[in-house]
Amino acid sequence: MLSSSFKRSLPEIWKAHSHLIVGEEWWCTDNQGRGIVTTAGLGSAPTPPDLLLMGLGACAGNGIKFILEKNGKKVRSLDVDVEGEWDPKPVRRMKDIRLKVTADADIDQASLSKIVEEVKEKMCPVAGTLLNNPHITTTAVVK
């Protein structure tokens, strides 16, 4: 089901930048300069963990929509709900993440479930990253 036409030419290295605005609010941009405000606390914007879950939902949803339409299925609506369950010890992190996909489309339950799994395993780079424990390297610079 996975189409090679979905595989775009993606940069080998993706970049993002976060700049402290004030308090706990941050202006975050990608390598193309597109930006979003995020907050580390109870501010007016989504928190970084919120953005992680939202990114996973949008990434998976886009892959699901692509496969459905590539196979001639009409998509009337598509919703992806993502839940993250916190594990406070030993390091505060999400120990479980659940995706629920609700589609109003010309497809049966078993076929939709198969597409959702395929997107999770092979198509969504956010899911691929979360499933494969990336190594994180740090650097500190004093101005």
- What letter would DSSP give residue 12? S
pLDDT, one tens digit per residue, over 19-37 is: 999 999 999 999 999 999 9
List, in order, residues 6 or more apart from 26 with CB less than 8 Å away: 18, 19, 20, 37, 38, 39, 40
pTM: 0.88
**Does residue 35 sit in the same domain as residue 55?**
no
CATH number of the CATH domain containing 87: 3.30.300.20
Q: How many domains in the chain?
A: 2
* Mean pLDDT in residue range 59-88: 97
Structural domain boundaries, residue 122: 47-134
**67 and 106, same domain (yes or no):** yes
Q: Is residue 128 part of a domain?
A: yes
Q: Give me the percent of the chain exceeding a pLDDT of 70.
A: 93
CA dihedral 120→124→130→134, nearest 10 degrees, is 130
The answer to whether residues 21 and 70 belong to one domain is no
Report yes or no on 106 lying in a domain: yes
- Asked if residue 53 is part of any domain, the answer here is yes
Is the domain of 22 the same as that of 35? yes
Q: Is the predicted pLDDT of residue 8 greater than 80, yes or no?
A: no
Q: Is residue 143, in this structure, part of any structural domain at all?
A: no
